Structure 1
Amino acid sequence: MSTPSESTRRSLLAIAVLCVAQVMIVLDQNIVTIALPAIGDDLGFSPSTLVWTVNAYVVPFGGFLLLAGRLGDLLGRRDVFLIGIAAFVATSIWCGYATGQTDLLLARFAQGTAGAVTSAGLLGMVVTLAPGDRARTRAIGAFGFASAGGGALGTVIGGILTDTLGWPWIFLINVPIGIAVIALALRVVPRDSGPGLRSGVDLLGAVLVTTGIMLAVYTLIETERHGWWSIHTVAGGATTALLLAGFVARQRRARTPLIPSSITRDRSIITANLVQALMVAALFGFMFFTVMYLGRVLELDALSSGLAFLPAPLTIAVVSLTIAPVLLDAIGPRRLVLIGLPVLTLGFVLFTRIRVDGSFVVDVLPAMTLAALGFAVTMPALMALGMSGVSAADSGVASGLFTMTQQVGGAVGLAVLGAVAAARTRSGLAAGLAERTALNDGYQLGFTVATGFLVAALLVAVVWASRTGRAATREPSLTEARVG
């Protein structure tokens, strides 16, 4: 029989393995962006179709998260995780050896589906594995770094791999990492068992929400090409609304709803998801506009642009792994959100001042560091709130819901911010501005609207905290703000 110290070490190692898996999944959403020019040149993509190298991953990833989280609750989260990561490794090999456009896009769709299956229940697994409250705060901080740092590292690693080994390696790098994760997970992640499919699966609800979310993400992505008021966008939006309305109605009548009422009625969980969606909407713009500003305005190459992002994951790592857990223990998640969001917003305010004749040190580094600091403080607090009061039996679907709001928020943000920035750039070019000046004006406006998303997130958090009696008098302990 294992001693307590051995059991604790095993749990912490299991959490570390799961965090590495999260880094790999999140990294893959961003690592492709910086390699797009090389992929386009090699496989002959047009500018309008090249973007689907990214979108073909994002659409199924967002759509399948909720269903994958519930399957983890019913069949066992470790088993579903292992199936997902094995599929992710296989589809990464497919992506790396794709020989044509259709081949790569099909591989990316399959990879996005595998990514959803892998990551849906990860947060729930991390929280339930943590041995005690103090370990739980450190685990949430580590997972926050994995989620945030993985995205920033994707740009850095993507630039290095593309310039040194070629674009296929942005996918093939997942193979040794994934195999190592599977081998370690089999040894250290304890196998859990769910009640099984016989306990009831809301198949109709699963079809409605999966189809609705995938269509929503697809419609938002395509607004840049078709326009916001085109038949394509209006029809897609209307159909999405009908599907999601049908899902909500189904949840009220289903004997075993996909999302239990204990989750939908919890104000902390719902508010944490809403604040996160608004925050991530701004952050997707940050990733996109910063990459574009570095490359098209400051005219840095792919490697230099990638390395320029290093301060972000480094800041996130230090804060998420050391400072955020201490603050989470000391003042609680609600107050921590109200501290982190203003810092994040200030970083975006600085980004609205980028200049055509600017420099990385003056125009990017201070804003990037502040934004990374604010995000590294806020994200673990939202994770704690997003999983607060959730029973162990429902932790998979709660985790899938939390990850899904990230994807939907990001898709909304990128669609809106990309549209307003492109419109401002086109207006500037039509007025006779130089291309770099017109682009810079567009990125400035994009950062301004992104700042508005963060202000809205802060307002939601402030109103919620003021209306929550416990927030005014006493923060919940982490024993309360955890998976039960």
Structure 2
Amino acid sequence: MRTAEESRVQSGGRKRRSFFVRSTQTTDRGGTPGTPGCLRSKERAVNLAQAAPTAVASGLDPRRWKALILLCTANFMVILDAQIVIMGLPSISADLKLTPVMGQWALSANLLTFGGLLLLGGRAADLLGRRKVFIIGTALFLLVSVLSGLAWNGEVLLVARSLHGVSAALMAPTALSILTNTFPEGRERNKAFAMWSGIASIGATVGLLLGGTLIDWLGWQSIFFVNVPVALVMLVLAPVLLRESKDSGTRRTFDLAGAVVSTAALGLLVYVLVEAPTRGWVSLHTIGLGAVFLVLVALTVVIEKRSAAPLVPLRLFRSPSLVGGNLVTGIAAALAFGMSVVISQFSLGVLHYSALEFGLSQSAMPIAAVIGAFLAQAVLNRIGIRVVAVIGVVLLGAGCFVLTGISPTGSYWADVFPGLILFGLGLGGGPVALAAAALNGIAKRDTGLASGLNTAAFQVGGAIGVAVVSTIVAAHMARAATDPAAIMDGFTGGLVACVVFAVVGLVLAVALLRKRGGGALQIVPEQRTPSAH
């Protein structure tokens, strides 16, 4: 039985609490309407007192926006490094006396190791610590940038470019995973993904502009040395701005067999796609290695089913959102890389633009991409992942369709500029929704792997786009000696292939991505079990 005094005290406590609750609900700077002026300062004090514990309890890192700049810089440098080498290849080949095959592999070696090791890099981050793996990748990026700049022959350069891919496979998925774990679901994470997508879109164009300028002024070595000061700053800031996180809920066992076989499968797929346009899609080389790839995929599935701690848990693929997000990401990458093949060859080979002129002509696209990314994050929670993704894919396809009107006698502003704007809006907005879809509902312990899957989908999709469009363009160019119009037919055919990619992506987005409520990227809480401790 409660005494009268206890009842009075508890009742008074309830009344006082209800007063404070009412006070904290005001948003008027002057206080709640009707509140006496002498109580307004008290009301504001109550607001601050209650807001502070809420912020602490939420676990938000006060340095998260500075950390985002660091993570986006890492992704920017990975993309910049891949693009800037394209501009430097003629000078590098002449100075180091590279054969055409070695020159091609100076570009492809990075792609091969990057694409092949992405899953391993993402899972290593989950198990060993995301910040730790990010720092290791950044340190390796710094060292191989120095080695690339000092390369004294083609063999050294190929080794360095291969190691560049390894560093990128550690940095890119880990940075995306850290971003996912740093920002809470909803508007903040959507904004973070918009910045990630927008800055990534800028990286390629900056690579073209910066590459030509550095080579003309300082020589080809400078395109590698420019990475060094940026990497040093990232190494200094990473321990300060990034929180460490890793999978602490399960046994930290390593699936060596799954790692070897899945890495071999991804690497082989990238190799086949790189070589197919040269060797032929129906050649014994392509068909044979394609069959080996399928065997490795089947073997990976068998190993992962039997493994107690699989590198790639097959349960992840039960999510239509994850599967759809990654498939459409691959399609978007095929569009982006395929379109770049056509526009670069058209601008440099037909319009005879210099490297600097080409970079400037492409600058409209990343500007539009930044706008598209921030528009996408603003409406993602309201209209949902699927709608934003569909709009993004439609804009990509529309941009390619408009670009089919290019001609040697046409105008940049009339024929090229509108297509680049449409394409850029889709290139910026689509990935914001697709990244959310690919990581939606993923347990925290799997975010590194899921980020690796998403990045791998982009890389493989890009390789497919380059392979398909390059094959179409090359087939028409073979007839150019007798039929000058064949060159433009090849460019048109390549862009039509990109439109077909967009149609496929549209179907996949509609079929696999959920309608509404998916704007916020959600992280599933860890499910602890007695054996996990």
Which band: TM-score by shorter chain?
over 0.9
Q: How does 1:343-422 map to 2 (within 5 A)?
A: 343-422=395-474
Alignment partner of 1:42 is 2:95: yes
2:477 aligned partner: 425
**1:62 maps to 2:115:** yes
2:292 to 226, 239, 245: 239
Local SS of the residue matching 2:326: helix
Tell me if structure 1 keeps the 8 A contact 2:330–2:460.
yes
Task: Show CA shifts across 1:337-361 (max 9, x none).
Answer: 1112111111000111210223332
C-alpha change, 1:483 and 1:293, in structure 2 (3 Å) is farther
For residue 475 of structure 1, the aligned residue among 517, 525, 530 is 517
The amino acid that maps onto 1:194 is D
TM-score of the superposed pair, with normalisation by structure 1: 0.93
Change (3 A) 1:479 1:305: closer
Q: Measure the CA separation in 2 of the matches of 1:393 and 1:7.
A: 18
Letter in 2 for 1:441: D
Q: Which moved more, 1:437-446 or 1:218-227?
A: 437-446
- Is 1:226 paired with 2:279? yes
Q: How does 1:133-282 map to 2 (within 5 A)?
A: 133-195=186-248, 199-282=252-335
1:233 Cα deviation from its structure 2 partner: 1.1
Moved more, 188-197 or 22-31: 188-197
Q: CA deviation at 1:74?
A: 0.4
2:517 maps to a residue whose letter is E
Aligned equivalent of 2:486 = 438
What aligned pairs does 1:74-113 form with structure 2 within 5 A after superposition?
74-113=127-166
What do you get for the CA RMSD once the two structures are aligned? 2.0
Matches within 5 A, 1:305-320: 305-320=358-373
Aligned partner of 1:455 in structure 2 is: 503
Once residues 150 and 425 of structure 2 are traced to their aligned partners in structure 1, the CA distance between those partners, rounded to angstroms, is 38
What is the deviation of 1:8? 4.6
Residues 208 and 355 in structure 2, CA contact (< 8 A), matched pair in contact too: no
Q: Is the 8 A contact 1:352 1:447 kept in 2?
A: yes
Matched letter for residue 244 of structure 2:
R
> Does the 8 Å CA contact 1:15/1:130 hold for their aligned counterparts?
no
Amino acid of the residue matched to residue 449 of structure 2?
Answer: V
The more displaced of 293-302 and 162-171 is 162-171
CA separation of 1:375 and 1:247: change in aligned 2, threshold 3 A: same
TM superposition shift of 1:51: 1.6
1:296 aligns with one of 324, 337, 349? 349
- Counterpart residue identity of residue 378, structure 1: G
Q: Output one character per residue of 1:205-240: Cα deviation in whole Å (capped at 9) or x when no partner.
A: 110010111111111111122111222112211111
Counterpart-to-counterpart distance in 2, 1:274 and 1:90: 34
SS at structure 2 position matched to 1:51: helix
How far 1:477 moved relative to its partner?
5.0
Is the Cα contact below 8 Å between 1:208 and 1:243 reproduced in 2?
A: yes
Alignment partners' CA distance in 1, 2:408 and 2:151 = 38
Whole-angstrom CA distance in 2 between matches of 1:196 and 1:182? 28
Report the CA distance between 1:195 and its aligned residue.
Answer: 3.7
Asked if the contact 2:380–2:519 (Cα under 8 Å) also holds between the matched residues in 1, the reply is no
Q: Is the 8 A contact 1:297 1:439 kept in 2?
A: no
Cα distance in structure 1, aligned partners of 2:371 and 2:150 = 36
Cα deviation code 1:37-84 (max 9, x no counterpart):
222222222333312111010000000000111110001111001000
Note the residue ranges of structure 2 that are not aligned, 5 or more in a row.
Answer: 1-51, 526-533
TM-score by length of 2: 0.84
The reply on whether 1:125 has 2:175 as its aligned counterpart is no
Mapped to 1, the partners of 2:443 and 2:298 lie a distance apart of: 26
Contact 1:75 1:197 in 2 (8 A): no
| Partner Cα separation in structure 2 for residue 158 and residue 358 of structure 1 | 28
Distance 1:389 1:220 in 2: 32
Q: Deviations over 1:345-387 (max 9, x none)?
A: 1100011121022333222211111100111111100001111
Equivalents in 2 of 1:9, 1:58: separation in Å?
36
Structure with higher Rg: it is 2
Change (3 A) 1:427 1:483: farther
Distance 1:132 1:241 in 2: 37
In the alignment, the residues of structure 2 paired with residue 443 and residue 33 of structure 1 have an alpha-carbon distance, to the nearest angstrom, of: 20
- Give, as a single letter, the amino acid of the residue that structure 2 aligns with 1:77: R
1:228 aligns to what SS in structure 2? coil
8 A contact 1:75–1:195 mirrored in 2: no
User: Matched residue of 1:413: which SS?
Assistant: helix
Q: Give the letter for the 2:352 counterpart.
A: E
**Contact persistence 1:75–1:196 (CA under 8 A):** no
